[in-house]
Amino acid sequence: TLSSDNILQAKSKKSNWPRPYIVPPPVEEEVDYFNIKSRKEHYLTIALVPPPSANQAWEQLMTLRRECTDPGFYRWPPHVNLLYPFLDMTLNKKSKETYEVQLSKFRNEISNHLEIAARRCKPFDVTLDSFGTFGGRARAVLWAYPKTKYTTTQQPCDDDEDEGEEEEPLIALQRLLEEQFPKCTEQRKGGTFNPHMTVSHYPNIDFATTAKEEVE
């Protein structure tokens, strides 16, 4: 028979049962690149576009695209894709934050990482001084080559002092952007980034080659 004293004594004794092991929450690994859940979309791009102040360049490029009957004349401005396709937000439906709040944070983080890449690259000038083509029997493109050189004699992008031939500024900038957005590697197909500004699309390479001869 248990008395009240026995019960109290039993409660006062330390239990010999092993204490449950509490798994600590996972520690989020800090990364120095864009790491927010997202998806790639072909309606988004990070591209080099002539600045509004370059009136003569805009006029010449638009005139050339019009004369070459570029199918995308009214769809997009003259541009050089650096990261394409680019990232759009994936909505977190479990979050208590509204779509607008999530989108604002997403865009701010995108801007931060674009700024990181841009700050690591010194100012440079762009000159469109030659044309090229690529394609085949079913589709082809006439493009202008955006040759770039540093505006000053300072160290190049990223202060890269590795041995070997120095990268052109635009190629270096694209590499820095990929480092910040490692999901977006399509522009380095074959391991090399070949910057180009599309002038017009053609049914095949023969038409593109003829157009190249006419504009040169």
**Residue 176, CA atoms < 13 Å, CB-side half-sphere:** 22
3-state secondary structure of 126: strand
Determine the average pLDDT of the residues in 57-75.
95
Q: Which residues of 143-169 are buried (b: 16+ CB within 10 A; e: fewer)?
A: bbbbebebeeeeebbbeeeeeeeebbb
Q: Is the pLDDT of residue 65 over 80?
A: yes
**pLDDT tens, 163-176?**
556 889 999 999 99
d(CA 189, CA 67): 30
d(CA 130, CA 21): 68
Determine the average pLDDT of the residues in 57-71.
95
**pLDDT at residue 190, as a whole number:** 75
The angle that helices 99-119 and 169-180 make with each other, rounded to 10 degrees, is 140
3-state secondary structure of 83: strand
3-state secondary structure of 56: helix
Q: Is the pLDDT of residue 2 over 50?
A: no
Portion of the chain with pLDDT greater than 70, in percent: 80
**pLDDT at residue 32, as a whole number:** 82
Q: In the structure encoding, which two tokens stand for residue 66, read together? A: 């019009």
Task: Find the helix or strand (DSSP H, E) in which 150 lies.
Answer: strand 140-150
Q: In the structure encoding, which two tokens stand for residue 207, read together? A: 């038409």
Closest residue by Cα to residue 33 from 175, 187, 210, 167: 175
Supply the pTM of this predicted model.
0.81
d(CA 179, CA 113): 10
Q: Is the pLDDT of residue 27 over 60?
A: no
d(CA 177, CA 170): 11
**pLDDT tens, 110-159?**
999 999 999 999 999 999 989 999 999 999 999 999 999 999 766 667 65
**pLDDT tens, 182-201?**
999 999 987 899 999 999 99
**pLDDT tens, 30-42?**
568 999 999 999 9
Closest residue by Cα to residue 35 from 115, 90, 83: 90
C-alpha distance from residue 69 to each of 40, 66, 139, 152, 209 (Å): 30, 5, 15, 38, 15
**pLDDT at residue 166, as a whole number:** 80
Task: Place 7 in a pLDDT band, splitting at 50, 70 and 90.
Answer: very low
d(CA 98, CA 11): 50
